[in-house]
C-alpha cells in the first residue's frame, strides 16, 4: 500500500513538473533578459530600455516636478533661469535662487532660504539619505538607468550580435538594435558628463562599479559610443529589414511630423549634432579655441538638416509616453496668468530677448505681476505668462 501511495505521489509530482514546464510562458509585453532572445522580445526590451528606463521608471519620483522631461530637465531649466518654481518639492523653490536680488530702487534682498546659497544647499542635500529629495539624483538615475538597460540589450544580442533568433534579416535587424543601444548610451554619457564633475563608465549588464572618472572621460566615452553607432550605420542602408527594425523600436506615436524612421544618414546627422552640442555646452566661450569652433562647424555642417527625421517624443490622449497636460516644460508652465502652473516664466529669460525678436511676441505676454510666497523665495516672481500654442505670428 505504501509503495502504491509513494508511486502515486511521484507521478503527481512529475505531472505537475511537466505542466509547469509547459505553462512557463513569458509575458512578451513585460520584457526581461530571459524572454528577449527572440525577435519580438528584443524589440520590446530595446524600446523599453529607452522609453521606460530612460524617461519614466525610477525608485523615487515626486509628482510635482514629474519624471525625466519635466523633473530632471525641469531642474536644469530652473537652474538656468528659464523658469522659476514656488513649490518646495525636491527643493524646487530653492535650487534656482540667487544669493540675492537687487530691486529697481537699488535695494538688495537676500535669499530668504536656509541655507541661503545654492552651493550650501547642494552640499546639504547631495547625500543618499536625502533619497528623492536630492535633485541631483534624478539626472544621474535616469541616465544610468538608460545606460544599464542598453547594456542588457547588447548582452542579450551577444558579442557578435548573433544570439537572438530573427524570423528573417537577422544580421541587419541585429545591427540596427546595436546602433540603437550604442547611440542611446552615447546620449546618456553626454548628459552625465555635462552636469557632474565625475561619473562611472559601465558596460556590464545588471552591474555597476565604483570607478569614478572625470567628466572629460565621461564625454570621451560618449564619443566612443557615438562612434560605434556610426560605424554600424555606415554599413546599413535604408529600406527593407532596416526600416522594419527601426520602425519596430520606435512607437507608432513618434513616427509622425519630424519623427519617423530615420535613414542611416539622418541618424548620423543626429549623432553629429550631439557631438557639436557636447563641445558647446561643456566649455565657456572664453575657453573655446579656434579648433573647437572649427570642429563645431564641421559637425553642424554634417548635422541635422531642415528635412531630416529626428528622435521625438509626443503625447496622446492616454499619455502613453508623455502627458499632454503635464508631460513637458511648456505644459507645466502654461497658465492664463503669470502664476502659470508648477513652473513660472522667468523674468531673466525675458531679459535675454532682444528688441524685435518675434519669439518673444509669439510665445509670451505681459500681465499684472504675480508675487508668490515671500518665505519661499523671490526669484520666481514674474509678470510674464506663456501663450497656449503661440500667438499666431509666423
pLDDT in tens, the chain (394 residues): 444 444 333 333 433 444 444 444 455 556 677 788 899 999 999 999 999 999 998 888 888 999 999 999 999 999 999 999 999 999 999 998 888 888 889 999 998 888 999 899 999 999 989 989 999 999 999 999 999 999 999 999 999 999 999 999 999 999 999 999 999 999 999 999 999 999 999 999 999 999 999 999 999 999 999 999 999 999 999 999 999 999 999 999 999 999 999 999 999 999 999 999 999 999 999 999 999 999 999 999 999 999 999 999 999 888 889 898 999 999 999 998 999 999 999 999 999 999 999 999 999 999 999 999 988 888 899 999 999 999 999 7
Q: What would the grid cell of residue 109 be?
A: 534682498
What is the pLDDT, as a whole number, of residue 264?
Answer: 99
C-alpha separations of 244 from 161, 174, 202, 256 in Å = 17, 11, 30, 16
pTM beyond 0.85, yes or no: yes
What distance lies between CA 161 and its chain's CA centroid?
26
pLDDT value for 374: 87
| Predicted local distance difference test score (pLDDT) of residue 25 | 47
- For 368, the enclosing helix (H) or strand (E) is strand 364-370
Which grid cell sits at 257?
511630423
Q: What DSSP designation does 38 have? A: B
Q: Are 393 and 358 in contact (CB under 8 A)?
A: yes
N-term to C-term CA, the chain: 92
pLDDT of residue 258: 95
Residue 103: per-residue pLDDT:
86
Half-sphere exposure at residue 285, Cβ-oriented, CA atoms within 13 angstroms: 0
What's CA 74's distance to the chain center, in Å?
11
Q: Where are the alpha helices (DSSP H) in the chain?
A: 2-23, 39-51, 73-79, 92-95, 118-125, 135-157, 170-195, 215-234, 240-249, 264-280, 290-301, 329-333, 347-351, 358-363
The rounded distance, in Å, linking the Cα atoms of 49 and 37 is 15
Instruction: Indicate if the alpha-carbon torsion angle 201, 70, 81, 108 is positive or negative.
Output: negative
pLDDT at 30: 61
- What does the alpha-carbon distance between residue 383 and residue 371 come to, in Å, rounded to a whole number? 9
User: How many angstroms separate the CA atoms of 201 and 219, rounded?
Assistant: 10
Helix axes 215-234, 170-195, angle to 10 degrees: 160
Amino acid at each position: 500500500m505504501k509503495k502504491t501511495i509513494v508511486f502515486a505521489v511521484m507521478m503527481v509530482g512529475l505531472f505537475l513538473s511537466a505542466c509547469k514546464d509547459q505553462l512557463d510562458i513569458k509575458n512578451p509585453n513585460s520584457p526581461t533578459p530571459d524572454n528577449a532572445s527572440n525577435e519580438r522580445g528584443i524589440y520590446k526590451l530595446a524600446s523599453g530600455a529607452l522609453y521606460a528606463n530612460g524617461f519614466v521608471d525610477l525608485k523615487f519620483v515626486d509628482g510635482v516636478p514629474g519624471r525625466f522631461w519635466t523633473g530632471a530637465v525641469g531642474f536644469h531649466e530652473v537652474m538656468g533661469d528659464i523658469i522659476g518654481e514656488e513649490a518646495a518639492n525636491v527643493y524646487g523653490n530653492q535650487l534656482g535662487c540667487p544669493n540675492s536680488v537687487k530691486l529697481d530702487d537699488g535695494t538688495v534682498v537676500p535669499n530668504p532660504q536656509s541655507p541661503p546659497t545654492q552651493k550650501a544647499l547642494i552640499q546639504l542635500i547631495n547625500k543618499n539619505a536625502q533619497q528623492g529629495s536630492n535633485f541631483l539624483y534624478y539626472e544621474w538615475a535616469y541616465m544610468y538607468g538608460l545606460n544599464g538597460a542598453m547594456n542588457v540589450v547588447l548582452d542579450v544580442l551577444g558579442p557578435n550580435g548573433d544570439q537572438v533568433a530573427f524570423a528573417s534579416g537577422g544580421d541587419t535587424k541585429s545591427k540596427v538594435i546595436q546602433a540603437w543601444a550604442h547611440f542611446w548610451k552615447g546620449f546618456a554619457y553626454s548628459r552625465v558628463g555635462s552636469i557632474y564633475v565625475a561619473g562611472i563608465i559601465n558596460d556590464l549588464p545588471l552591474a555597476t562599479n565604483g570607478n569614478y572618472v572625470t567628466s572629460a572621460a565621461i564625454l570621451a566615452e560618449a564619443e566612443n559610443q557615438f562612434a560605434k553607432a556610426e560605424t554600424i550605420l555606415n554599413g546599413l542602408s535604408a529600406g527593407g529589414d532596416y526600416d522594419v527594425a527601426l520602425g519596430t523600436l520606435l512607437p507608432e506615436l513618434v513616427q509622425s511630423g519630424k519623427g519617423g524612421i530615420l535613414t542611416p544618414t539622418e541618424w548620423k546627422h543626429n549623432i553629429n549634432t550631439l557631438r557639436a552640442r557636447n563641445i558647446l555646452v561643456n566649455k565657456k566661450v572664453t575657453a573655446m579655441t579656434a579648433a573647437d569652433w572649427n570642429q563645431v562647424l564641421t559637425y553642424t555642417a554634417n548635422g541635422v538638416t531642415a528635412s531630416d527625421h529626428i528622435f521625438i517624443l509626443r503625447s496622446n490622449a492616454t499619455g502613453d509616453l508623455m502627458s499632454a497636460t503635464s508631460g513637458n516644460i511648456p505644459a507645466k508652465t502654461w497658465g492664463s496668468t503669470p502664476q502659470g502652473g508648477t513652473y513660472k516664466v522667468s523674468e531673466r529669460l525675458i531679459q535675454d530677448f532682444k528688441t524685435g525678436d518675434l519669439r518673444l511676441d509669439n510665445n509670451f505676454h505681459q500681465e499684472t505681476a504675480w508675487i508668490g510666497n515671500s518665505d519661499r523665495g523671490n526669484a520666481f516672481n514674474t509678470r510674464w505668462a506663456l501663450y497656449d500654442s503661440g500667438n499666431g505670428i509666423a
